[in-house]
Structure 1
Amino acid sequence: MGYSQAQKAESRQRVLENASRQIREDGIEALGVADCMRSAGLTHGAFYGHFSSRDALILEALEHAVSQSEKRIASHVTSSGKRGETPLQSIAEVFLNERHVRNPGNGCALCALAGEARHANPDVRELLTGYVRKLASRITQAASSDSKDAGLGIVATIVGAITLARAVDDDKLAKSILSASLALVMKS
């Protein structure tokens, strides 16, 4: 008995969600096709019915992660006025919080993979480069600034802060990194 197109699309979505989460939690190189398929409730043999290669899965999973981040940011910016926040504050707080530090699998792919991306294949680097540009543009707009450099500086501050907060083994220091970075961003 075959699967309907809807069932196949649902299965593919589960694989992308699992791969996206696994890549953000453990890194690109740690993604195993068999484990990813199993965690999506599928067999390893079903993989090639959905993707042409592991690299294709990685790229689509990262596209999915970036899309999730973009939607989350847009939602927060849209509702920022209701919470009494500026759009910039809303974006900064989406990133610079303890929940984001503790849950890389549900967070920003750029924050999770910045250190590793320099070793990634050109397609992954191109995707992340595009996301840096989009995010910097979005932040420049949220800050009501004409300076592209301001947006890039804020992106660098956010990514660096999350990377450092995840790297240290001192919760108090991690919290200080986040709050100091948030204060710095809000001075922009």
Structure 2
Amino acid sequence: MRYSTDHKQQTREKLLASSGVLAKRGGFASTGVAELMKAIGLTGGAFYNHFPSKDDLFSEVVRRELCNSPFARLASQGADRERLRRCLKQYLSLAHLHNPEGGCPLPPLGVEIARAERPVREQAEHWLLELQAAWSETLGDERRAWALISQCVGALVVGRMLASEEVQQQVLDASRDVVEQALEED
């Protein structure tokens, strides 16, 4: 049976959305094509109607997740220091830490992006450079922008490694203090 172009596009969108959630929850490399397709109610064989390879899907997932991250919205809309402060406070929260599938893709996917083919890493680099440029403008300091990006992403990575919510909260609190100090400096 032949499906309409609309149906194929809708299926592709479902696959991308579902794959993003699964990748951020449990890792992309460890999730097979059959599992990715089963999540949207299809068989593994249908995958190749939408992507030539799993690597191509990962590239598109990374692009989509980066473009839809909280950092991307902040960069694209511009931000003064107060708006940046509010966003980073939300970013460095237990709610965000405990919701990898609904949050920033860098903490859960960063290692997989680092191991990916060059085009995926270039895509991530392009996005990070745009974010860094936007934050540099807000902060008036290029190096401080890189430090804040790294601090925020790193805090979530370390926090998610920990078993105790009490210690997770200590990591987030310490990181928020560092971020607050960086936002106060002129």
User: What is the aligned partner in structure 2 of residue 126 from structure 1?
Assistant: 122
Q: Within 1, Cα distance between the matches of 2:108 and 2:178? A: 21
One-letter identity of the residue aligned with 1:118: A
- 1:179 matches 2:173: yes
User: What is the aligned partner in structure 1 of residue 159 from structure 2?
Assistant: 165
One-letter identity of the residue aligned with 1:185: V
- 1:111 matches 2:129: no
Q: Within 1, Cα distance between the matches of 2:112 and 2:8? A: 32
User: Where does structure 2 lack aligned partners over 5 or more consecutive residues?
Assistant: none
User: Where does structure 1 lack aligned partners over 5 or more consecutive residues?
Assistant: none
Q: Percent of counterpart pairs with the same letter?
A: 26
Q: Give every structure 1 segment of 4 or more consecutive aligned residues whose post-TM-superposition deviation is greater than 4 Å.
A: 75-78
Q: Within 1, Cα distance between the matches of 2:28 and 2:117? A: 10
User: What is the aligned partner in structure 1 of residue 2 from structure 2?
Assistant: 2
Q: CA RMSD in A?
A: 2.4
Residue deviations 1:35-62 (CA, integer Å, cap 9, x gap):
1011012221211111011110110111
Q: Tell me by how many angstroms 1:97 deviates.
A: 1.1
Contact 1:76–1:94 (CA under 8 A) maintained in structure 2 = no
Decide which moves more: 177-186 or 129-138.
129-138
Q: Within 1, Cα distance between the matches of 2:181 and 2:171? A: 16
Q: Tell me by how many angstroms 1:102 deviates.
A: 0.9
TM-score calculated relative to the size of structure 1: 0.86
Q: How many residues are matched?
A: 182
Residue deviations 1:156-188 (CA, integer Å, cap 9, x gap):
000110011001111111011112211211221
User: What is the aligned partner in structure 2 of residue 49 from structure 1?
Assistant: 49
TM-score calculated relative to the size of structure 2: 0.87
User: What is the aligned partner in structure 1 of residue 82 from structure 2?
Assistant: 86
One-letter identity of the residue aligned with 2:146: L
One-letter identity of the residue aligned with 2:111: G
One-letter identity of the residue aligned with 1:146: G
Contact 1:77–1:91 (CA under 8 A) maintained in structure 2 = no
Q: Tell me by how many angstroms 1:77 deviates.
A: 6.3
